[in-house]
Amino acid sequence: MSAQADTAAARRSGRRRGARIGSGLASYAGFVPAIVLLGLCFLVPLGIIVCYSFWETIDYEVVHHWTFSNYTYFFSVSAYVSTMWATLWVAVVATARYVPQRLRVPLLVLVIVPFWTSYLLRVYSWLTILGDQGVLNRFLQWAGITNHPLGVFLYDRPAVILVLVYLYFPFGALTLYSSIDRFDWNQLRAAMDLGASPAQAIFRILVPQIKPGIITAIIFVFIPILGEYLTPQIVGGTGGVMIGNLIVNFFQEAEYTRGAAVSLLIAGFIVVLLLIFRKSLSAKEAYGA
């Protein structure tokens, strides 16, 4: 009799376990649209790009022939490599322009207002400032500093940097603002009182505490700038080419496999960057900031 009871109990618990697995699967059912969407729109194209980057283009035809030549080609042509370094350099300089400062509400509004205008419009508006017939050149001619329009303002790397700083400033400023706003400035006084110089106080006390904000700002600013295509296209000319333009050029010239390789290089770089940042971001949880 007790054996019967045991098996009954076992059957019951077995049913319960089965039910649990069933409900476990059911609870994942909600993810199906997301998984399908991600698979179709991200994983499949990514797979195609990966394949392309290891294939060859012969006479404008993609040949399914496995090779590393696209990657070696990229690094063998110095112009391309220097474009990559230039891209990094532009991104770093544009990122570094954010001076952490206590911005007040009116300033914040000024920072946010440009968001109400289209991105493209904001880039084009710089043409009317920096161009031959632009505000800057007209002012210089009016002031008698020059008698013909200067072309140095536009169509080169400085113009790209200027416009990118302008475009991405709000992202950096807003993320830094939120972490700096919480900072108790008496800490800097305390640090100096304890013998730290102003620079030591900032680097040992302020910077470690707003590090999450700094990293977030870098993620929001540096990474989108790496992929910038439109700004260098509009204001960069031949001297201001960034890697995004290079990729476009490859694809437009039907060099699909080379374009795919460069795309993956830059994507890989960003992934590595994010992994590094993730590690230092999790460190902040140690002191519950």
Partner 1 sequence: MTTVPTLAEQASPPTAAGIELRSVVKRYGTQTALRGLDLEIRDGEFFCLLGPSGCGKTTTLNLIGGFVGPTEGEIWIRGRRIDTLPPHKRPVNTVFQSYALFPHMTVFENVRFGLKMDHVPRDESVGRVRESLRLVGLEEFGERMPSQLSGGQQQRVAVARALVKRPAVLLLDEPLGALDLKLRQRLQIELTQIHRDVGTTFVYVTHDQEEAMSMADRIAVMNDGRIEHLGSPEEVYRRPASRFVADFIGDSNFFDATVTGDVAELTDGSRVGCAGGRSGPSTLMVRPEAITLATGPGSIAGRVLQTSFLGSYVRVAVETPAAEAPVVAALRELANVPAVGDEVSLSWSPGDGIVLEPPG
Sign (positive or negative) of CA dihedral 279, 284, 285, 286: positive
Min CB(181)–partner 1 separation in Å: 15
Q: Does residue 203 bind partner 1 (CB under 8 A)?
A: no
Task: Read off the tokens for 152.
Answer: 């140095």
Q: Does residue 279 bind partner 1 (CB under 8 A)?
A: no
Taking the CA of residue 206 as centre, how many other CA atoms within 13 Å lie in the half-sphere pointing to its CB? 20
| Binding residue (CB under 8 A) for partner 1 from 205, 219, 226, 261 | 205
| Binding residue (CB under 8 A) for partner 1 from 70, 137, 209, 257 | 209
Min CB(171)–partner 1 separation in Å: 25
Alpha-carbon radius of gyration of the chain: 27
Q: Closest CB to partner 1 among 147 and 186?
A: 186
Q: Closest CB to partner 1 among 212 and 236?
A: 212
Q: Does residue 202 bind partner 1 (CB under 8 A)?
A: no
Closest to 107 (Cα-Cα) out of 164, 169, 161, 159: 169
The CB density around residue 200, as the number of other CB atoms within 10 Å, is: 13
Kindly state the DSSP code that residue 147 receives in the 8-state scheme.
Answer: S
* Segment holding 176, helix H or strand E: helix 157-181
Classify 11 as helix, strand or coil: helix
- 31 exposed, middle or buried (CB, 10 Å; 0-12, 13-18, 19+)? exposed
Q: Does residue 287 bind partner 1 (CB under 8 A)?
A: yes
DSSP state string for 199-220: HHHIIIIIHHHHHHHHHHHHHH
Q: Does residue 6 bind partner 1 (CB under 8 A)?
A: no
Stretch that binds partner 1, among 14-22, 30-38, 84-92, 188-196 (CB under 8 A): 188-196
Stretch that binds partner 1, among 52-60, 66-74, 198-206, 257-265 (CB under 8 A): 198-206
Q: Does residue 285 bind partner 1 (CB under 8 A)?
A: no
- By CB under 8 A, the count of residues binding partner 1 is 20
Stretch that binds partner 1, among 126-134, 159-167, 193-201, 243-251 (CB under 8 A): 193-201
Q: Which residues bind partner 1 (CB under 8 A)?
A: 184, 186-187, 189-197, 200, 204-205, 208-209, 287-289
